Amino acid sequence: MTAAEDLRFPDVDLNIYSKNNPVDVPILKSEIATRASSPNIIRHIVFDLSGTELEGRFVAGQSIGILPPGLNEKGKPHVLRLYSICSPSFGEDGQGRQYATTVKRLIGEHWDTQQLFTGVCSNYLSSLRPGDMVKVTGPSGKRFILPEQPEQFNYVFFATGTGIAPFRGMVMELMKRGNKKNIALVFGSPYRTDLLYDSFFRGLDERESWFHYLPTISRENPRTDGSRPYVQSQLTDRADLLKPILERDDTLIYVCGLKGMETGIIQGLAANGLHQYLKYKEELSGDPIGWDEQTIRRSIKPSGRMFLEVY
Ligand code: FAD
Ligand code: NAP
């Protein structure tokens, strides 16, 4: 039996604090995570969980719940929003007392009224200053975590935007465990100014032969066919690096970020003959790159070796 056929996941704590029983914790730090010239505002926000039941209880890949104050347009309290923890299980401080997340301010324009639209929770959280208190819940999530004995596997991580958050924590976790297996991190951003934790990942790539960082910038240089470079494009463009890792029987794929990645990654895996990551409910014919989203949703699920958290 291969390591991937005998996958087991650790038991993790869930909802020690819930929306009916949240806990107030202080913000310890809030730092800009994008370069100053980026039009997007993304912050690395650290919570101090000292003295709460959450000390040492998050694992990489889980999320923290945030309850923004105030009422929605129906006069009901705002609902809880989830944010991925970007720290390893030992926290930002190594003691499991400080955990961080990576938050993007949701800002847009109403298409009909041309009025500014600002997402409730991301803007509330991003405006908090060190020392301000925030109501949190969690931990949340038990399916998007590293397996038991995680250093026995190779990983290909696909992230878009703030979907990088869980992978920062997972990579730090694997480093602490003395990882020597291959990790490829394929990270998609609109511009170079939006790359998150770029110097950490770049430095690791330069230092460690087992770590491969593939930043994938969609809006600067198009591919030779004129299309935007997306994370799934790297399955073709960097097949020299990714295919040998993906063909091993002890490799796992994790995907986090925008919903649209799911279709593209499934197409890319099928087009490269990497069917071991896919479970077909019905046989499909033709060029996988031409399979549409509906067909894929109806006919293909990830196999037990691929984990998706996309929204
Ligand atoms: P809301 O006030 O909830 O607004 C969002 C809604 O606004 C959507 O329905 C959208 O359709 C609509 N909308 C968007 N733009 C416009 C517009 N211009 N006009 C009209 N309507 C519009 N986010 C992160 O930043 N970092 C994370 O690590 C992270 N992790 C997550 C983990 C999980 C498991 C999940 C489920 C989500 C995660 N998210 C993360 C997303 C996060 O939970 C929130 O959904 C996000 O921050 C937006 O919340 P908000 O309250 O700011 O926006
Ligand atoms: P973004 O910056 O808007 O986009 C990141 C990159 O993805 C851009 O280069 C974008 O290209 C590209 N992209 C767009 N469509 C794509 C597709 N179909 N396939 C592959 N790549 C595509 O991302 P963001 O605003 O940070 O959004 C991140 C998303 O992740 C949010 O929806 C957030 O809720 C979610 N998230 C989920 C979790 C979780 O579930 N745990 C954690 C964190 C974040 P172009 O725009 O140039 O086309």
139 C-alpha vs ligand 2 centroid, how far in Å?
23
Q: Is the CB of 126 under 6 A from ligand 2?
A: no
- What number is the average pLDDT over the span 88-97? 98
Residue 254's nearest CA partner among 179, 135, 171 is 171
Domains in the chain, start-ordered, CATH in brackets? 23-140 (2.40.30.10), 146-310 (3.40.50.80)
258 C-alpha vs ligand 1 centroid, how far in Å?
11
- What number is the average pLDDT over the span 122-141? 98
Q: Is the CB of 230 under 6 A from ligand 2?
A: yes
Q: Are the C-beta atoms of 231 and 240 separated by less than 8 Å?
A: no
For the CA of 102, the closest atom of ligand 2 is: 43
Q: Model's pTM, two decimal places?
A: 0.96
Q: For the chain, give the percent of residues with pLDDT over 90.
A: 95
**So what's the pLDDT on residue 5?**
77
106 C-alpha vs ligand 1 centroid, how far in Å?
7
Residue 272's nearest CA partner among 156, 185, 166 is 156
pLDDT digits (tens, 9 = 90+) for 281-303: 998 999 999 999 999 999 999 99
180 C-alpha vs ligand 2 centroid, how far in Å?
29
Closest residue CA from atom 7 of ligand 1: 119
102 C-alpha vs ligand 1 centroid, how far in Å?
13
At residue 101, what is the residue type?
Answer: T
**So what's the pLDDT on residue 36?**
78
Specify the DSSP element, H or E, that contains 212: strand 211-217
pLDDT digits (tens, 9 = 90+) for 44-87: 999 999 999 999 999 999 999 999 999 999 999 999 999 999 99
273 C-alpha vs ligand 2 centroid, how far in Å?
26
- What number is the average pLDDT over the span 109-126? 97
Q: What is the mean pLDDT of the chain?
A: 96
Ligand having the closest approach to the CA of 109: 1
189 C-alpha vs ligand 2 centroid, how far in Å?
8
Q: What residues have CB less than 8 Å from 42, skipping those under 6 apart?
A: 32, 33, 34, 102, 103, 104, 105, 161, 162, 194, 196
**So what's the pLDDT on residue 195?**
96
Closest residue CA from atom 7 of ligand 2: 160
Helices 165-176 and 198-207 sit at what angle, rounded to 10 degrees? Answer: 40
Confidence of residue 39 (pLDDT cuts 50, 70, 90): confident
pLDDT reading at 6 higher than 90 = no
**So what's the pLDDT on residue 145?**
98
Closest residue CA from atom 35 of ligand 1: 82
Q: Is the CB of 163 under 6 A from ligand 2?
A: yes
Confidence of residue 254 (pLDDT cuts 50, 70, 90): very high
Q: Is the CB of 143 under 6 A from ligand 2?
A: no
Three-state secondary structure call for residue 267: helix
**So what's the pLDDT on residue 16?**
98
Dig out the tokens for 294 from the structure.
């509906």
- What number is the average pLDDT over the span 137-163? 97
Task: Compute, in degrees rounded to 10, the torsion defined by CA atoms 297, 303, 306, 308.
Answer: 30
pLDDT reading at 38 higher than 90 = no
Ligand having the closest approach to the CA of 72: 1
